[in-house]
Structure formats: C-alpha cells, structure tokens
Amino acid sequence: MTSKRLWTVCLLLSLIELSACAEVRPWERGRLAKPHMALDADPLLTGIDAHTFNSKEAASGGIGPAGGGCGCN
Amino acid sequence: MKKLSRTVQSLLVSSLSLPGFSELLAAESDPNEFQYRFTLYDEEPLPEGLLLDGSPDRYRIKSHQFRFKRELNERFTLTVEGIHESMSGSSPWFVKPDQQGNLLQVMSGATIEETRNEINLALGIEHKEIQHTLATGYSNENDYEAVSISYTGEYEQQNNHTTLSWGASYSDDRLSPTDALLFGRVERASRNTVSASFGLTRILNRNALIQSGVQLTHHDGYLSDPYKEMFINGGIFFDHRPEDRTAFAWSTRFRQYFVGTNSALHADYRYFNDDWGVDSHTLDLAWHLPIGERFELAPAIRYYSQSAADFYAPVITDGRTPSHWSSDYRLATYGAMRYRLSATWRAEIWSVSLNADIYNSRESLALSGPHFDTPALVDFWRISLGWQVHWQ
C-alpha cells in the first residue's frame, strides 16, 4: 500500500465527516430505523458470508477488527 | 459491524410513537435476541478436462450457527455466538503441465472429512457515553486451533449525526497438519494476527446514512498452506509463502431509503491491498423491497476482483528458482460474481429468512493483474435458512 492511497482514504473519511448533512431530529429518523435500512440486519448471515469469502478469496477484512483464523481449504 | 448505535436507537424508539412505527422498530429496540441459521454450501466439481488426478468432487459444507444476546442490566450486554461445521470433499493439491503444456489440476485423492467448532463471547459495557465491547473467540479443527481477543469502542458525538468507532484484535493460531509424517508436511506451526480499525457512521439526511472505516492487519508466522504443493521445474515442492503479511482494507456501506416504494438500497464497497501484491475491489449491491406488511424480497449482486500475489504461479517451468512460491488458486488473478435472492417474513417478535446464492469465478472478470491459466477457480452455490426471535 502506498502512502498516497492511505492519504486518499483519510481524505475521503474526512469528507464524509465534514459533508453537509441536513439536521435530522430524533423524531425524523423513523425511516433510518426500519429493519431493511440496518447496516447489518442479520449478523449470522454477515458472519457466514465473511467466513466463506475469507476462505475462498485473498482479500479479507471490513469495518472493525479482524477475528481468528481457520484452516479452511 | 453494528447497526445504529444504542444511543441512536433509543432516541429513535423514544421519538417514534407514531402509529405504525412501533412494530417496525421492535427488532431494533428489543435488547434480547436469539438467532439460528443453517447453511448448505456446495462447490461445483472440477471439469473433467482440467483434472489430472484425484477426485473431481470439491467441498460440501453444512453449517449450524446460533447467536444469543442478553441485556444483563442497563450497562452490560452479553452476546454468545457459535458455529458447528461439517466438511467433506477434496481440495486442489497442485497443478501440473501435460506433454502439450496444458495446465491440469491434481486434487487430493481421499475424501476429506472434518468438523470445525467455534465459540465467541462478547461483553458490552456502556461507560461515560462510550460503548465498549470486549470479545474472545475459540475455533477448533482436528488440525487447526485459534484463540482470539478483541476490543471495540464506540462514541456518538453530541449532535447525534456521527458515531466514531475504533478497535483492535489479536489472534493466536496453531496448525498440526494431518498425515504430516506420511507426506513430509510440517508437523506443527503457528501464526499470529494483530489488527487495528477506525470508522465512522454518519446520518446524511432523513433517508440516507453512510458508514466508512479502515482496517490494518498484520500476520506473521507460518502463512503457507501445508496441504498445497507446486510443480517447479519438474519437481514438486511444498507451498512456501513469506512469513509476514500486512494488509489494508477500506470499507464503506451506504443505505438509501426510497419513500415511494418503502424500499432500501444497500451499497457496500471494499478496497483491499497487501504487501504480497494483492489488490482487490469488492462491490455489493442489494435492493430490499417490502411486499405488504410482513414480507420482504431482496435481490443482490456482488462483484469481486483481485490481482495475483507476487509469488503466485500455477507452475514454474522456466528454470528460475524464486524465494517464495504458491500455486494456490486463491492467490491468482480472478474476478467473481455472486447472485443472491433473499426472502424474509417478519412477524411481531420473530422472523425467518431464506437466502440462495450462486458464485462464479473467472480470470476474465478480474479488473487487473497478470494473466495465468488457473484450473481450480471455484464455482459454488449456497442455500441458507435463518430464524430470529427478539424480546424485551
């Protein structure tokens, strides 16, 4: 990984943080709370997806720290 | 990793006394839940024209997962997750050229039968507006054992539009390959993994939110696959990879709600890069469409691309002797498409979902990377049934 790529990601994260977003009051967040708007609606499905792809593809990782490995072939 | 933070959820629940919302929010607001999921995974057999020796039948895996989450009191939450897998089939061993120079795959001859069990415990602690989570995990196979610990923290900024998260983990893995003496494999080996992560979640407007984060991971120790070998200038040699690997991943998840159809677009992207030379892009798009009050359909498509590791080649026949080598197809240049259809039925306190996946990998689908003929690229299908119940 080049430091240029790292800086690009840092810049993108900063843009997200600084991006203009409309003020959304608590009583205006009903749509964001719907089950099908969840970032991770089904942790077990997300888990078996990650486990399958991590054992069949060279890339791995996501949001949050890594877990333990396995001897999967 | 998480849905909206707990503080955001409680605000949502307290504010949404509007008719019709309370039931929709039940899954978000109930602090206790139990989930079970069964998954059947089946790899397509290796085509006959590409098989030199061994069994063409590849892996078939049955997985049982459970997850139990319990709020102990106002500050503490305990989550227990487990998985039991039983696997059978044969796996790619090495590639060999025939007399015309065509690359053919040698598979393991005997059908492999094994099981894997994993248990994970996580304790959530809310302290001074920060949600801390301490977790530990243990995974066991007859030839592999892993113990891991992790910490994650989450802080919601005062304006409630942004949530910051950070984390770190460590994993200690031990290998004891089967039939080591018979085949001359390494008898015992170990590898360690440390990782650190940072992310943020931001509410963009009433209909959209975004989450983005980076993860840095370092592996060291025995990172080769003890069951894989490679054809090098007429001889067969064990897989030999570098003993450390540093990887970087940047992931972003975006959710957009459409008022007219009550539907939601999920768009997830990941960029991955490591010092083995692997460069990868993953894009996952799903459209969640409620039909009536209780039923939901969600078609999804996932595109994946990776470039080969610097030391990957299916065979070496030009007389050179590299310092590291591997013919493991998972380190080759390739791309893959996954197609999924999910159907979910939600009742008041429980839900059930059925998911069907098809996965196809081809070298021609890769965005970039050196060209190789890799006969063992895998295709598979998967079907999964999950059940979930939640309560106060």
Res. A60: pLDDT tops 60: yes
Task: Tell me which residues of chain B, numbers 157 to 216, contact chain A at a CB-CB cutoff of 8 Å.
Answer: 160-162, 165, 167-169, 171, 173, 175, 191, 193, 195-197, 199-207, 209-215
B365's tokens: 């689908």
Residues B195-217 have pLDDT tens digits of 999 999 999 999 999 999 999 99
Which domains are assigned to chain B? 120-391 (2.40.170.20)
Task: Tell me which residues of chain B, numbers 227 to 256, contact chain A at a CB-CB cutoff of 8 Å.
Answer: 227, 246-251, 253, 255
Percentage of residues of chain B with pLDDT beyond 90: 82
Does residue B29 or residue B306 have the better pLDDT?
A: B306
Q: Give the rounded distance of the alpha carbon of B131 from its chain centre.
A: 25
Q: CB-hemisphere CA count at 13 Å for B247?
A: 26
**With contact defined as beta carbons under 8 Å apart, do A48 and B39 qualify?**
yes
Residues B3-39 have pLDDT tens digits of 445 444 443 333 333 333 333 344 456 889 999 999 9
Residues B222-255 have pLDDT tens digits of 999 999 999 999 999 999 999 999 999 999 999 9
Structure confidence at residue A71 (pLDDT): 74
Mean pLDDT estimate for chain B? 91
**Secondary structure of A16-70 in the HEC alphabet?**
HHHCCCCCCCHHHCCCCCCHHHCCCCCHHHHHHHHHHHHHHCCCCCECECCCCCC
**With contact defined as beta carbons under 8 Å apart, do A49 and A40 qualify?**
no
Mutate to test the interface with B, among A6, A7, A39, A54 (most CBs of B within 10 A): A39
Q: Cα–Cα–Cα angle for B257, A36, B305, nearest 5°?
A: 85
Residues B320-351 have pLDDT tens digits of 989 999 999 999 999 999 999 999 999 989 99
Structure confidence at residue A61 (pLDDT): 87
**With contact defined as beta carbons under 8 Å apart, do B289 and B263 qualify?**
yes
